[in-house]
Chains A and B, each alone.
Chain A
Amino acid sequence: QQPVQSPQAVILREGEDAVINCSSSKALYSVHWYRQKHGEAPVFLMILLKGGEQKGHDKISASFNEKKQQSSLYLTASQLSYSGTYFCGTEGGGTSYGKLTFGQGTILTVHP
């Protein structure tokens, strides 16, 4: 089942902060975050694993609430290069282990 992202779109000025949320209805093993610029491939940002382990870029922060099956991506002091569509991908356990289901995306636009 597809995770739900919110908001659908965000418009910022350089230096402002934003939070993008991802919510799933099923128990999760991990949450992945990717950014995709127009016409390009998705780029890995961060993975948050059940149990608290995180892997990703130093300048990106995120949280994972295992009980609520929710994750949030925190973008602070935004730069023009942050513009793009952000996708969360959720991975469940059992037969869903190793399979990512992506949300519909959040479009982030950063203006000078």
Chain B
Amino acid sequence: EAGVAQSPRYKIIEKRQSVAFWCNPISGHATLYWYQQILGQGPKLLIQFQNNGVVDDSQLPKDRFSAERLKGVDSTLKIQPAKLEDSAVYLCASSLVWGGDEQYFGPGTRLTVT
């Protein structure tokens, strides 16, 4: 079974530029998550989708971050404009069902904002 795919793996941008990350979850997984992991900390949930609907985005900085999940499969996370404090690893995860289920993480995208 293929795992969660993410691209790109690394990205370096200057502040105020925009960037987009792509995620392809495990086939059949209805729930998709985007996490931000700052160095030395645990992952922080940014947004959660159930199929193509947003379940929770309470911790997403909506003035600069946006995300969508078209057709309930792939998802993209965008930052515009980026700030220095956005430097982090952005992890995508998926689970078969919503709630009480193991989450499978992708390899992440390491973003450096200079």
Residues of A within 8 A of B (CB): 2, 29-30, 32, 34, 40-44, 47, 49, 55-56, 87, 89, 91, 97-105
B107 is an interface residue with CB less than 8 A from chain A: yes
B64 is an interface residue with CB less than 8 A from chain A: no
A-B Cβ contacts below 8 A, count: 58
Which residue of B33, B44, B108 contacts A41 across the interface (Cβ within 8 Å)?
Answer: B108
Whose C-beta in chain B lies nearest to the C-beta of A3?
B42
Q: A99-B48, A100-B103 are in contact. List 13 more A-B contacts (CB 8 A).
A: A29-B99, A41-B107, A44-B102, A44-B104, A47-B100, A89-B42, A91-B99, A98-B31, A98-B55, A98-B56, A98-B100, A102-B43, A105-B40
CB atoms of A87 and B42 under 8 A apart: yes
B85 is an interface residue with CB less than 8 A from chain A: no
B98 is an interface residue with CB less than 8 A from chain A: yes
CB atoms of B100 and A101 under 8 A apart: no
CB atoms of A49 and B91 under 8 A apart: no
CB distance from B67 to the nearest CB of A (A): 15
**A47 / chain B contacts, CB cutoff of 8 Å:** 100-102
B54 is an interface residue with CB less than 8 A from chain A: no
